[in-house]
Amino acid sequence: MDDLLSGADTPNNAIFICKDIAHVLSTRGFHLRKWNSNSTVFLAQFSEHSSHDARVEFSKDSNESSKVLGLFWNSSNDTFGFQPSLELTPPLTKRHWDSPIPQQLTEDWLRFQKAFNAINYLTVPRWVILTADNIVELHGFADASSLAYAAAIYCRQKHNGKIKVQLLVSKTKVAPVKQVSIPRLELCGAHLLSKLFKSVLRTLKYYTFDVFAWTDSKIVLSWLSGHPRQWKTFVANRTSEIIEVLPTKHWRHVPSKENPADIASRGIDPKCLPDCKLWWQGPPWLRLETSSWPKAESSCDEASDEVKAEQKSVSIFNLLTHTSNDVIHGLFEHYSSLTKVIRIFAYCQRFIKNCKKIASQGSSISSSHINTTSLTFSETKTAEETIIRWVQDEHGLVRVGGRLQNSQLRFNSKHPIILPSQHSISELLIKEQHIAHLHAGPTLLAHVLRQSHWIVGSRKLINKCIRKCLKCNKFKTSTTTPQLTGNLPKHRVTLERPFFSCGIDYAGPVLIKCNKGRGTKSTKGYIALFVCLATKAVHIEAVGDLTTDSFIAALRRFSARRGAPRHISSDNGTNFVGARRKLDEIRKLWLSLPTNEAISYYLSKSSIDWHFIPPSSPHFGGIWESGIRSVKFHLKRVLGETILTFEELTTLLTQIEGLLNSRPLSYFQRSLLQPPNTRSLGVATEHQTGLLEEVEFEFISSLQPRKKWQDAQPNLKEDDIVLIKEEGPPGTWPMARVLQVHPGNDGLVRVATVKTQDSVFKRPVQKLHKLPIYPN
């Protein structure tokens, strides 16, 4: 069991504590063997009442020094002593055991060893006199050198006019291996002093002290006088911790020669340490009255290089704001209805009027003085005129003069009240009249306003207010400007094998006779169109129905004749929502799960990639939509009301296919005798090489200009409120919120995911109308 240290203010209290300790430990088999004390009364008391069972032994010689936790305690003098040993455990050097030590190093070591033994004669008083009658102060000193930084705290006691100062605690730390500037090391010393003070004050929490902190660094005092956030991280972190324990008012400046912490930071010869009064008792003036202490000096100039080196770079932003404490201005900021603002102000005027009436009568307010009736016309009119006077900032109402003095119009119409267009009252007035007159247009609204008010620059403000009207915007969807036309896909501008990349679409239904002759039944047939994305060449197949097998059979026939495509693009069927009923079956073909599974199996087996354009965006597939239109153009004119057999329909579609493939590629093509169909069939001609160059130069170059949607528009953003354009009047279109935008490679948003009350959709921006939702 290790040594136990304890103490008390009186011998009786010490005896009581020791008996309790011995009893408690003996109950668990821990018998105390030896006691020692600086009180003879304590030792005598235990000697008289000790028993054999307690097994208590006492030091026979009170002058002997007892070893206590690495220190030597002389109980008679009540002092601590030190006996440090220089027996070092090897190895402490990289030299070998038989390597000779340099002569100079040997002499330095022997000199240090001899001087070091002087510490054996050093004694430190154990007891620091702290009584209720003494006036006690704690003085802390901090300093640093290039080798170390240190802090020391002294206890200054004043009793009956006598002042005694003694060292209480000190601590030294070696400077970091990484080179640090002296001012920063001085700050580390101050930081060490704050932590030392925190520990001492926590230990002596039952005493009250006046605390003083001293440093010889004016730079540190400057850092402590400023706010930590204005310094760099190293200084800011330490100054904030220092100020938390020792606020700026506790810090003072001490000359370097009178700073005892300088001894701990630089070191001292062990021979000189026992007699060093500056270290053991502090500076001489600390034993004198406060008038003899060093005078407070101003901290280092904030513009000095050392202080500026630790300052953060500050960015200054000037912001001009307009503030007003006016009550009327606050009403306009909080309410969006002019009528409500006028009524609130009218009630305020009524209250003020009642208070003035009560004050003139010299009585207190009662329920009889409160007018609970509704506002009268005169009260609201007075409130309105008062607000307008406040807006005009004049004693009376400013009205228009004009040339209608002799007309029969009302006075307000001949001389309307002038209002500025920049004020909120003008915008509220226009909004109120706009709603009151059933969302009137700009011309009618301007006419209505001129009957009583003349707003400077009213036309521009009226148009602005109407644009902000949510209901009016729902019916002005035709003004929505589409986004800038995007760049063509890679498959459209790359010369590849015909039908290497193609688009697919269905058309129909077309009535087909089962057999020739009269009275035969007819069934529905459909047209499958394959369009080459690079050359616009078409391939048309007649299919008997919309089943999976029929589609895969048409795809196989197409692949056998034109070569298997590598990329196929189509819409995903949602563009048929709301279309004619006869297209519902085509929509079910694209959306049915068995169809998708069967087609996906065939595509994966044939190494074909299938791409879908966004829902409800047929303009993304304009190339096959144009092909369908061209096919129908010839088909309607040839058929009319005639019903063909499947064989006849196949023949007609093949003729239309050849006709469409004979079209020139561009208006500027010179070799009009070279039709696309020969290229599609792989026919070799003597002009084959020149034709490819002609296609690349003329046809692809003709795709360069944007035919429409030539200006970039502001992008939709997340959480924007929009209307989804559908069939029917705009008033029935659902409202939605933008969940996610899908920008293209150019950063422009052309597709967005929106959420309605019931579901989530992906729509092109052409199908979305943004509503003017403002914070107010």
List pLDDT tens digits, range 281-290.
Answer: 899 998 888 8
Burial of 169 (0-12, 13-18, 19+ CB in 10 A): middle
Cα(549)–Cα(552) distance, integer angstroms: 5
Return the percent helix, strand and coil in the chain, to nearest 5: 40, 20, 40
- Give yes or no for a contact between 156 and 214, defined as CB atoms under 8 angstroms apart: no
- Which one has a higher pLDDT value, 597 or 368? 597
pLDDT tens digits for 597-632? 666 666 666 667 777 778 777 778 888 888 888 888
How many Cβ atoms are within 10 Å of 744's Cβ, its own excluded? 13
Q: Measure CA 297 to chain center.
A: 46
> Which runs of E-coded beta strand occur in 346-500?
417-419, 453-455
Residue 593: pLDDT band with limits 50, 70, 90: very low
Return the ∠ at Cα 588 (arms to 587 and 592), rounded to 5°.
Answer: 130
pLDDT of 189 higher than 90: yes
Cα(60)–Cα(495) distance, integer angstroms: 113
Cα(133)–Cα(131) distance, integer angstroms: 5
DSSP classification of residue 231: B
Q: What is the pLDDT of residue 395?
A: 42
- Give yes or no for a contact between 485 and 709, defined as CB atoms under 8 angstroms apart: yes
pLDDT of 154 higher than 90: yes
Q: What is the pLDDT of residue 96?
A: 76
Q: What is the pLDDT of residue 739?
A: 87
Closest to 558 in 3D by CA, of 636, 654, 487: 654
Share of the chain above pLDDT 70, in %: 76
pLDDT tens digits for 6-55? 778 788 888 888 888 888 888 888 877 677 788 878 777 766 555 444 33
Per the listing, tokens 């035969």 go with 520
Mean pLDDT value across the chain = 77
Residue 320: pLDDT band with limits 50, 70, 90: low
> Residue 438 belongs to what H/E stretch?
none
Of the listed ranges 162-176, 257-271, 272-286, 539-553, the least confidently predicted one is 539-553
Closest to 409 in 3D by CA, of 450, 456, 368, 377: 450
Cα(9)–Cα(6) distance, integer angstroms: 11
How many Cβ atoms are within 10 Å of 315's Cβ, its own excluded? 5
DSSP classification of residue 581: G
> Residue 472 belongs to what H/E stretch?
helix 470-474
pLDDT tens digits for 532-588? 988 888 999 998 887 777 877 888 888 888 888 888 888 764 333 333 344 455 556
Residue 672: pLDDT band with limits 50, 70, 90: very low
Cα(298)–Cα(307) distance, integer angstroms: 14
Mean pLDDT on 56-70: 55
> Residue 245 belongs to what H/E stretch?
helix 233-245
pLDDT tens digits for 111-153? 888 877 777 777 888 877 666 677 888 999 999 999 999 999 9
- Give yes or no for a contact between 576 and 587, defined as CB atoms under 8 angstroms apart: yes
Closest to 483 in 3D by CA, of 749, 740, 753: 749
> Residue 151 belongs to what H/E stretch?
strand 148-159
Q: Measure CA 287 to chain center.
A: 58
Q: Measure CA 215 to chain center.
A: 42
Q: Does the global pTM surpass 0.75?
A: no
- Which one has a higher pLDDT value, 625 or 315? 625
Cα(481)–Cα(712) distance, integer angstroms: 9
The crossing angle, in degrees rounded to 10, of helices 584-591 and 593-606 is 60
Cα(749)–Cα(744) distance, integer angstroms: 6
- Give yes or no for a contact between 567 and 608, defined as CB atoms under 8 angstroms apart: yes
Cα(601)–Cα(599) distance, integer angstroms: 5
Cα(589)–Cα(205) distance, integer angstroms: 86
Half-sphere exposure of 671 (CA within 13 A, CB side): 17
Alpha helices in 260-304 (DSSP H): 261-266, 277-281
Residue 682: pLDDT band with limits 50, 70, 90: very low
**Cβ within 8 Å of residue 454, ≥6 positions away:** 399, 400, 416, 417, 418, 419
pLDDT of 694 higher than 70: no
Cα(447)–Cα(451) distance, integer angstroms: 7
Mean pLDDT on 690-715: 69
Q: What is the pLDDT of residue 171?
A: 94
pLDDT of 401 higher than 70: no
Cα(614)–Cα(618) distance, integer angstroms: 8
Q: What is the pLDDT of residue 55?
A: 36
- Which one has a higher pLDDT value, 499 or 358? 499
**Cβ within 8 Å of residue 776, ≥6 positions away:** 336
Cα(552)–Cα(570) distance, integer angstroms: 15
Closest to 512 in 3D by CA, of 659, 639, 660: 639
Q: What is the pLDDT of residue 685?
A: 47
Mean pLDDT on 238-261: 91
Closest to 216 in 3D by CA, of 266, 251, 166, 243: 251
Assigned token pair, 681:
């069939």
Q: Measure CA 225 to chain center.
A: 33
Closest to 293 in 3D by CA, of 186, 214, 190: 214
- Name the amino acid, one letter, at 74: N
**Cβ within 8 Å of residue 232, ≥6 positions away:** 310, 311, 312
Q: What is the pLDDT of residue 56?
A: 39
Assigned token pair, 674:
């070279």
Residues in the chain: 776
Residue 9: what are its φ and ψ, rounded to 5°? -75, -30
Residue 89: pLDDT band with limits 50, 70, 90: low
Please report, for residues 317, 335, 748, 767, the alpha-carbon distance to residue 773 in angstroms, rounded to integers and kept in the order given.
30, 17, 22, 18
- Give yes or no for a contact between 502 and 529, defined as CB atoms under 8 angstroms apart: no
Please report, for residues 127, 148, 152, 204, the alpha-carbon distance to residue 282 in angstroms, rounded to integers and kept in the order given.
18, 20, 9, 21
Of the listed ranges 385-389, 584-588, 752-756, the least confidently predicted one is 584-588
How many Cβ atoms are within 10 Å of 182's Cβ, its own excluded? 15
Closest to 264 in 3D by CA, of 121, 138, 143: 143
Return the ∠ at Cα 255 (arms to 253 and 258), rounded to 5°.
Answer: 115
pLDDT of 317 higher than 50: yes
Per the listing, tokens 């002093």 go with 193
Please report, for residues 320, 388, 439, the alpha-carbon distance to residue 323 in angstroms, rounded to integers and kept in the order given.
10, 20, 34
pLDDT tens digits for 195-213? 999 999 888 887 788 899 9
pLDDT tens digits for 509-527? 888 888 777 777 888 889 9
Residue 191: pLDDT band with limits 50, 70, 90: very high
pLDDT of 501 higher than 50: yes
- Give yes or no for a contact between 713 and 752, defined as CB atoms under 8 angstroms apart: no
Taking the alpha carbons of 306, 312, 317, 323 in that order, is the dihedral positive or negative? negative
